[in-house]
Structure 1
Amino acid sequence: MILPPSRTNAEAHLYMDLRPCSCGETRFPRQSAVVALEDGDVAARYTGACPTCGQPREFIFRLPAEPAVAPAGGFRYGGDEPSHLLDPGEWLRVADGYARSVPAEVATGDAAQRARATLIRAVAALDEVLKFVPPGEDVVPAAAFTTEQGRDLHRREPGRFRRDRLAAVRAAYAGMLPQAV
């Protein structure tokens, strides 16, 4: 099955990490190749075997016409448009997971660098949620939630998808960045 475009390798890898094998394992060693599609487009093909059950895994993502460019010294999952791979609920769960994994008090050295990298990814995931809020609107529309996980989070906590609340959480995470250096 050929999936929609992945805007970056990071987005493709995150998508694969969020789609477990039938045995429940989420990670697998991946080989990648660029392949030509029948319609003339190119795609990234990732293959590997599940380390738990040995089942073969394969994901094929169309490559965008113009790849997203990360800001200097920063990290982005994609360009200015919303993701076609993950819905806003999935992105918010990713941001939550990254933020929860950062210790309240960060030491120095390698631990601080890991915390900084994790917070940068949490901020980038929140940026992805914000891309689903239409210009001039204040909330992510219900139609943007295309996965059961995303719809479930939206049903349980719809207020978390308001622009002002997303921006406040993003600012809090970004404000923690200097402390994680």
Structure 2
Amino acid sequence: MTLPVARTRDEARLYLDLTACACGALDADWQHATGLQDGELVSVYDATCPGCGADREYAFGLPERETAGDYPHFGGDEPSQLIDAGRWMALADQLASALPEDPATAAQALHLARAAVDEVIKFVPAGATTVPAKAFWTPEGRAVRDAEPGRFQLDRLEIVRNTYQPT
């Protein structure tokens, strides 16, 4: 079984933050380790849900080569295998629509929103002008696309990304 690759720890942690327990709780004290699964080295995150006490565990494949960068650093040039294009856009929308009053915190939120839009752009194939339908594999992601499909045109994505430039 091939596991989806977590390109970086930032991406894995964001995926975990977006993935609710069966009881609906989002918060968890995630512990990280590496391990073997079917003879392959994997990245494993586990936690006990504070809401219902359920044990939660997620295993991710490791990237062929690691990339480094300042926070938030979600990966290289390839698109995410964990978070679809619509969920990245929803995150950007959420962050940019409720900016805190504190300038430093607002700048950090805009920086993260910009990084999320950069992740959406990675789904646009070379030479294409829009994010393809296959880049929306979750119900949440498809709902974002279906609400306004034009938002996923490359030129519009670049304009949005550029407006999320912290001052």
TM > 0.5 fold call: yes
Q: How far 1:156 moved relative to its partner?
A: 1.5
Contact 1:2–1:60 under 8 Å retained in 2: no
What CA distance in whole angstroms lies between the structure 2 residues aligned with 1:43 and 1:112? 39
User: Aligned residue for 2:131?
Assistant: 140
User: Aligned residue for 2:140?
Assistant: 149
Contact 2:86–2:142 under 8 Å retained in 1: yes
What CA distance in whole angstroms lies between the structure 2 residues aligned with 1:30 and 1:3? 19
1:58 aligns with 2:49: no
Contact 1:7–1:78 under 8 Å retained in 2: yes
Aligned CA distance change for structure 1 residues 33 and 2 (closer, same or farther; 3 Å): farther
Aligned CA distance change for structure 1 residues 155 and 94 (closer, same or farther; 3 Å): same
Q: Percent identity?
A: 43
Q: How far 1:6 moved relative to its partner?
A: 0.3
Contact 1:83–1:128 under 8 Å retained in 2: yes
**What aligned pairs does 1:5-154 form with structure 2 within 5 A after superposition?**
5-39=5-39, 41-70=40-69, 75-103=72-100, 106=101, 111-154=102-145
What CA distance in whole angstroms lies between the structure 2 residues aligned with 1:25 and 1:75? 24
Contact 1:87–1:147 under 8 Å retained in 2: yes
Q: What CA RMSD, in Å, does the superposition of the two structures yield over aligned residues? A: 1.6
Task: Provide the aligned length of Structure 1 versus Structure 2.
Answer: 167
Q: Deviations over 1:20-44 (max 9, x none)?
A: 01111111011111112323x3211
